[in-house]
Structure 1
Amino acid sequence: MLAVKRTALAMLMTSALLSGMANAAEKATPVFTPEQEARIGEIAKDYLLAHPEVLVEVSQKLQAQQQEKQQQAMTAAVIQHQAALLNDKGTPSYGPADAKVTVVEFFDYQCIYCARLAPELEKVIKANPGIRFVFKELPIFASRWPASLTAAKTGLQIYQQKGSEAYLQYHNAMYATGHNEGKLTDADITAAAKAVKLDVKTAPDVQGTLEGIGALAQQLGFSGTPALVIMPSSGASADNMTVIPGFTDGETLNAAIQKAAGGIR
């Protein structure tokens, strides 16, 4: 019976020490005497040494709580900045302008996870002709691999000069090279641009668009690529949108599209 009581007390105090002592410290009246705190610490230490799996469980729980808070913060930011997500005319998009659901992707052509997602997303696009897809060029690897920035700027120039079809062709061609994580070359970019007949001499200045995308990513809390938002094109809320800050698959994307479509009134 004593062992059971000691175990229960240790479990209780471990939880308190990890999640509640900061609050207790702010109270004017101490919860325990110094002697009691010392004894509780000894019991908790002995128990944790005998059962280190408890620390793993607590760590996993705290990590899950942090991820949930991060997800909530990103969702709130998306709602606040949905106009910038959906209405930037300089940002490439593909699909009906009056689509009820929009899928937004932040990506880098040199990102290996973006490359793995690309064929999945291509299938989703083909399977959902009534959905609008927005492509946010976010060359986060530009300082490491200059082709990251070159490819992003070229993509924006193609969209603004040649339109959606040409852009999507270029976009898919970049990933079709199989060249990521520093392997993409200027020759790859030039070949894909020539295939859609980009006129380099009259190509628009897209620096402002790139900077706007980078600022938006920061406002949304996106620190890496890929990052996706699947939402109704109007009336988005926490209940009908999905924010995916990382790699995903086609099945998850299609489920998110159905969720967004189901939330439209």
Structure 2
Amino acid sequence: MLKHLLPLCLAAGLALPAAATDLDNLSDAERAAFRAEVRAYLLENPEVLMEAIAVLEQRQSQAEVERDGMMVAANMDALFNSAFDVSFGNPDADVVIVEFMDYRCGYCRRAHPEVADLVELDGNIRVIIKEFPILGEQSLLAARFAIATRIALGDEAYMDMHNAMMEMRGDMTEPALLGLAAELGLDGPAILAATDDPLVMQTIEYNHDLAQRMAISGTPSFVFGDQMVRGYVPLDGMQDIVALLRETAN
């Protein structure tokens, strides 16, 4: 503890004997005096401690950003070029966003219309959907049903099902999902049969493995270009991130 306090004390201008700067060689009396000096100074100047904490938090935040950037760089192909995923928006976009989502996640549902608005308002964004069920059996069933829709009926049907499931109320049971398919004019029995296709669980397992490598444990989680954003972000916040990405790219 004393070793951690020494730089703070020196920065604060505390006068210490030359010998006392080597904390391993302090006598008991010097150690007690040093502790008293530190305590007195911090009690009189608590803002110093707050400033030190702020600097530490800033350094930790910067280190986290750098780690995230390294993880994105190491997993670029799996993030942005996986055949398992469906995307929407501008196929030639200058900004690509990856979203790890769960149909049972309240914040994913909250973000869903705002992500759609971002794509529509901007016109130069593409969003890649990563099916990442983590909230129990109904989440897994919903993800399997969505992926099976793509296998059985194609990407357009998948997007219709995806959007409808993000707005669905009530339990996501097999009868409820079949009813939703009927409402959308989709072939429910064909979708249900496709849920047994090995590609369904391969897609989910692939995304879970990727999330583990990316230190992603919650939804929604986003990758904006080379930046990771964990948790819900409102529309204006996403617009700010996109603007910053474009600014730094120029």
Same fold (TM over 0.5): yes
The reply on whether 1:164 has 2:152 as its aligned counterpart is no
What residue in structure 2 maps to residue 175 of structure 1? 166
Is 2:187 the partner of 1:197? yes
Distance 1:130 1:159 in 2: 25
Change (3 A) 1:56 1:192: farther
Matches within 5 A, 1:221-260: 221-231=215-225, 241-260=226-245
Q: What's the counterpart of residue 83 of structure 2?
A: 89
Give the secondary-structure state (helix, strand or coil) at the position aligned to 2:84: coil
Match of 2:112 in 1: 118
AA partner of residue 189 (structure 1): L
Cα offset, 1:42, TM superposition: 2.0
Residues 159-197 of structure 1: CA deviation (Å, up to 9, x unaligned): 3333332222222212212x4xxx533144333334243
Q: Secondary structure at the match of 2:104?
A: coil
Identify if the C-alpha distance between structure 1 residues 32 and 172 changes in structure 2 by more than 3 Å, giving closer, same or farther.
farther
- Please give the alpha-carbon distance, in whole angstroms, between the structure 2 residues aligned to 1:223 and 1:65: 23
Q: Which runs of 5+ in 2 are unaligned?
A: 11-21
The question of whether the paired residues in 2 share the 8 Å contact of 1:91 and 1:156 is answered with: no
1:153 matched residue in structure 2: 144
Q: Secondary structure at the match of 1:105?
A: strand
**Percent identical residues:** 28
Matches within 5 A, 1:1-265: 13=6, 15=8, 30=23, 33-34=26-27, 35-48=29-42, 55=49, 58-142=52-136, 146-177=137-168, 179=169, 184-186=171-173, 187-194=175-182, 195=184, 196-198=186-188, 199=190, 200-203=192-195, 204-205=197-198, 206-231=200-225, 241-261=226-246
Shift of 1:210: 0.7
Deviation at 1:117, TM superposition (A): 1.1
Supply the distance in 1 between the matched residues of 2:243 and 2:202 (Cα, whole angstroms): 34
Distance in 1 (CA, whole Å) between partners of 2:32 and 2:8 is: 16
Query: 1:4 is matched with which residue?
Result: none
What is the TM-score of this pair, normalised by structure 1? 0.73
Tell me how large the CA RMSD over aligned residues is: 2.9
Query: Structure 1, residues 187-224: CA drift from partner, whole Å, max 9, x if none?
Result: 44333334243412244331111111011111112121
Counterpart CA distance in 2 for 1:191 and 1:126 is: 29
| TM-score (normalised: structure 2) | 0.76
| Cα distance per residue 1:78-104 (max 9 Å; x no partner) | 011111001111122223444333110
- What is the aligned length? 227
Bigger-Rg structure (1/2): 2
**Contact kept in structure 2, 1:170 and 1:193, CA below 8 Å:** yes
**Aligned partner letter, 1:185:** M
Unaligned runs of 5+ in 1: 1-11, 18-28, 232-240
Q: Is the 8 A contact 1:91 1:135 kept in 2?
A: yes
1:147 deviates by: 0.6
| Contact 1:99/1:132, CA 8 A, preserved across alignment | yes
3-state secondary structure, aligned to 1:43:
helix
